[in-house]
Structure 1
Amino acid sequence: MTGLSLLKRHLAGSLLAASLALGAFVLPARALTFDEVGKVVQLLTELEPELGRLAYDEEEADQWFDDDAGLEGRIAKAGFSRETWKQALDATFRGYLATIATERFEATFSGLTERVDASDLNDEQKAEMRSFVETKIAETRALRAEGEKYVDAVQPYAARLNELLGDQEE
C-alpha cells in the first residue's frame, strides 16, 4: 500500500473516530419519534456486548441487522424492518451529532489538515489529502445540520448515545 493510501486510511479512521459521521446515508427524510430513539438506544445497549461497538455507517447498520437476526432477532422483535432500522439508526445518529456542543464538535476536526501538511507526502499528495479531509469534514457538518430536526427526540438520550457512540478518549 502506498504512503498516500496508508495516510488516507489513517486520516479516515481518525475522522470516523473523531466525528462519528463519515458514513453518510441517502435515506428519505422522515419524522423520528421519541419511542423510536428509545428503541434504538435500547438495542444498541443490548447488542453491543455481542456485536461490539457500533462504527456507524450504512454497511454496519445492515451488518448489525443481519448479525442480530442470527442471534435473537431483537431488532425485528422491536418492530424494525431492515429499512426502518437503518432509517431510525440514521436519524438517531444525525440527531446525536446535533446534540453535541458546537465547540466540542468542531474540536474533533482540530489539527487534521495540519497533520496532512506535516506529513512526508509530496505536495500533490498533500493537496489530495487536504481535499479528502475537507470533504469529510463538510460531510460531517452536513450530517449534524440535518440532525437538527431530530434533536427534540434524541436529546433525552444524548448522554447514553455519547457513551455508545462517542469518542472513547474522553
Structure 2
Amino acid sequence: MSFSLGRHLAAGLLSTSLALGAFVLPARALTVEEAGKVVRLLGELEPELGRLAYDEEEADQWFDDDAGLEGRIAKAGFTRESWKEALGATFRGYLASIATERFEATFSGLVEKVDASDLNAEQKAEMRSFVVEKIAETRALRAEGAQHLGAVQPYAARLNELLGDEEE
C-alpha cells in the first residue's frame, strides 16, 4: 500500500467516523437490492456531484443536489431518510468488505507521525488522543458494517472504485 493510499484512506475514514459517530443505524438490515441502487446512483451521480466523501451532511447534500437535477435518488424509491440510511449502511458495509490487513494498514504509523510532527508536547498529546479515538470509532463503524456485508459484497469492487483511494 502506498503512503498516499494510507494517508488518503485514513483521512477519509477518520473524517467519516466524526460525521457518523451520532448516526443511528437503521433497525433493519440493508438489502442487496438497496445496496445495488445506492451503488448505481453513486456511479451515475459522481460525474455531476463529484466524488462522495461520505458523512450524513453529504448524504443530505447529494439528495438536495440530485433533486435539482434529475431527481434520480427519489426516482429510485428513496426518501431523504431512507437514502441516508441506505447510504450509511452501504458505507459501513463497504468498510467491512475491506480486507483486514489493508484496513488496519491504513492506521499504521498515524500515531508515530503525530509524535514526529512539529507540534508542541501539549498539541501532540491532544492530537494523539484524537487519532486514537478516531481509529477506534472507525473500527466500530467497520464492525457495525458486518451486518450489511452480505448485501454490499456483490458491489465491493465497484464501491472501492467509488469510495476507495483514487490512485488504486
TM-score (norm 2): 0.89
* Gap change, CA 1:53 and 1:36, over 3 Å in 2: same
Instruction: Give the equivalent residue in structure 2 for 1:15.
Output: 10
User: What is the CA–CA distance in structure 1 between the aligned matches of 2:15 and 2:28, rounded to whole Å?
Assistant: 21
SS at match of 1:110: coil
In structure 2, the residue matched to 1:77 is 75
Q: RMSD of the alignment, in Å?
A: 1.7
**1:59-91: CA deviation from partner (whole Å, max 9, x where unpaired):** 100000000000000000000000000000000
Extract unaligned runs of 5+ from structure 2: 1-6
Q: Distance in 1 between matches of 2:77 and 2:83?
A: 9
Q: Residues 34 and 153 of structure 1 are in contact (CA less than 8 Å); yes or no, is this contact kept in structure 2?
A: yes
CA contact (8 A) 1:99 1:155 kept: yes
The equivalent residue for 2:65 is: 67
Residue 86 of structure 2 is matched in structure 1 by: 88
Equivalence map 1:17-36=2 (5 Å) = 17=12, 21-22=16-17, 23-24=19-20, 25-36=23-34
State the shift of 1:122 in Å. Answer: 1.2
SS at match of 2:118: coil
The equivalent residue for 1:138 is 136
Contiguous gaps of at least 5 residues in structure 1: 1-11
Structure 1 runs of 4+ aligned residues shifted over 4 Å read: none
Q: Which amino acid aligns with 2:112?
A: E
Helix, strand or coil at the partner of 2:158 = helix
**Deviation digits for residues 73-116 of structure 1, max 9, x if unmatched?**
00000000000000000000000110110000000111111111
Q: 1:105 to 1:62 in 2, by over 3 A?
A: same
Identity of counterpart residues, as a percentage?
A: 79
- AA paired with 1:118? A
Match of 1:40 in 2: 38
Q: SS at 1:56's partner residue? A: coil
The question of whether the paired residues in 2 share the 8 Å contact of 1:91 and 1:147 is answered with yes
- Structure 2 counterpart of 1:30, which letter? R
Which residue of 87, 96, 99 maps to 1:98?
Answer: 96
Structure 2 CA distance for aligned equivalents of residues 127 and 79 of structure 1 = 47
TM value normalised by structure 1: 0.88
Residue type at the aligned position of 1:41: V
Shift of 1:149: 0.6
**Could you say which residue in structure 2 is the equivalent of 1:161?**
159
Residue 88 of structure 2 aligns to which amino acid in structure 1?
A: D
Distance 1:127-1:19 versus aligned 2 partners, 3 A rule? closer
Q: Contact 2:9–2:164 (CA<8 Å) still a contact in 1?
A: no
Q: What is the aligned partner in structure 1 of residue 4 from structure 2?
A: none
